[in-house]
């Protein structure tokens, strides 16, 4: 595992434990899972459980990665989402409530449909046409 990825979660957990007002949202959990399996101490694992219970650490999407929308197959999208959700449910007993796709390349109707079928309560996007984004912000 790359050192910088290990340091991200070690540092995040340390900083979250310093104050109840601190929160962190994790999107893809592939690097988190590697940190959890290979780096995290028992104390850090207990802290993660505590932070999740308190709502100060949250996983959105919860897939292994934030899949690319332009060139991936639906089977691969479902597989990576299922694997990620399986890990989160088996390890922590929950599934993510929100989807988050702020930096995919391309856009498709498949992704929001897949996320609706996965039971997400809301879907956040960012990489869209500027005029469409401005119109959506104006007309909420």
DSSP characters for 86-108?
Answer: HHHHHHHS---SEEEESS-SS--
End-to-end alpha carbon distance in the chain: 42
Tokens matching residue 118: 């996965």
The residues annotated with a catalytic role in the active site are: 103
Helix (H) or strand (E) run with residue 122 in it: strand 122-125
d(CA 11, CA 19): 14
Q: Based on the number of CB atoms within 10 Å of its own CB, is 91 exposed (0-12), middle (13-18) or buried (19 or more)?
A: middle
């Amino acid at each position: 595992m790359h050192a910088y990825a290990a340091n991200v979660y070690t540092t995040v957990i340390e900083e979250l434990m310093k104050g109840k007002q601190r929160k962190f949202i994790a999107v893809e959990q592939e690097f988190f899972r590697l940190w959890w399996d290979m780096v995290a101490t028992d104390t850090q694992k207990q802290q993660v459980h505590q932070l999740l219970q308190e709502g100060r650490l949250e996983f959105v999407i919860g897939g292994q990665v934030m899949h690319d929308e332009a060139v991936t197959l639906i089977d691969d999208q479902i597989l990576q989402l299922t694997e990620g959700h399986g890990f989160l449910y088996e390890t922590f007993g929950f599934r993510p409530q929100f989807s988050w796709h702020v930096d995919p390349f391309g856009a498709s109707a498949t992704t929001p449909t897949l996320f609706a079928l996965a039971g997400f309560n809301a879907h956040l996007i960012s990489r869209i046409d500027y005029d469409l984004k401005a119109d959506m912000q104006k007309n909420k």
